[in-house]
Amino acid sequence: DGYLLQHVVAAGIPCLGIEPSLNVGAVARNRGIPTMSEFLDEQLAASTRSEHGAATLVVANNVYAHIPDLIGFTQALRALMADDGWLSIEVHHALNLVALGQFDTVYHEHFQYYTL
């Protein structure tokens, strides 16, 4: 929905959101965030990198639980990045889900949860 990227845009830093949900992508675009409404795969990563250049920072907050093909998605992230770029991934931690009673984050759209 562009929540994170709205701050990037406000700071004048070039950015691009990639969001597969059409309605969520529309919300981001309405906030003034350049957003593609497509699923990220290696082909899209290659064409995006070709059109926009290599990314110096790629952020994937709370998306890994929704991805059935972790290897392909991770390779697509890598394909977006400059060789000296940074990748930030945020995921839920299964121990916290149980220990802190965060059961509202457990639902059928998640393919996996992570533990040490």
The predicted structure's pLDDT at residue 116: 67
Q: Name the fold adopted by 5-105.
A: Rossmann fold (3.40.50)
Confirm if 38 and 18 have CB atoms less than 8 A apart: yes
Identity of the amino acid at 65: A
For residue 104, count other CB atoms closer than 10 A to its CB. 7
Alpha carbon of 94 to those of 87, 88, 106: distances in Å?
22, 19, 10
Query: Taking 90 as the threshold, does the pLDDT of residue 87 lie above it?
Result: yes
- As a whole number, the mean pLDDT across the chain is 91
Which token pair is 30?
Answer: 């309405």
